A and B are shown apart, each in its own frame.
Chain A
């Protein structure tokens, strides 16, 4: 019994007999090339689910199989397997770098294209603000199965009139307010601190 057995068998045994559950899981693990010592990681889980799907479809029918797969997909990896990734932002080209980074982070998660677009847009907005309004900073991406937290820190002069901007009344000639309000609306959790030494924004997009 390894971690895959421990995590997945309880789910499978709700819908299949213990013998079938064990047999399907072992076969899927063999086909996915997952030996007993492989750590419980997201990309392996995805590959395992792909191998399990035909057996589940056959025995349970498509609808029930989807339910089971949904429950398995909810088993996020341990947070330790998702290290935070930091991208320095100084020039315009770094915005694209940050987006590419976010894209590849999202690829390892079970995220819909709509959620991925939210994450990419948040990254884009915050990175662009760093480029346009400060001399430089960084963006950090921390993903887990529940969502992606984007932290953007810059060493700029801070945002004057933050209250006014967040209130939605500010009409900037350069577009600063729109981006921040947009990020707040896209994120499930949003926080911002700003001062003369810089600005820090944290936004979490739930997947």
Chain B
């Protein structure tokens, strides 16, 4: 699925915001590993999810959408998950 450019920018912005200082210089590509290259641990991943909800004004749990954080390993996985969640959220609201 083609990702909307603006959506991708927003999610990349959220990721950049959550990266610990010592990994700030790592270039974000779709293949960049969230844990090994960006130092995102479970707290970091949770922070990303909750910031995502805030920015897009949705409540993933309330909408009954399942998100398997453990399977999100790369920036590409996260972008795709973000797109899927928003598509799912739109379909449930409409």
Are A and B bound to each other?
Answer: no
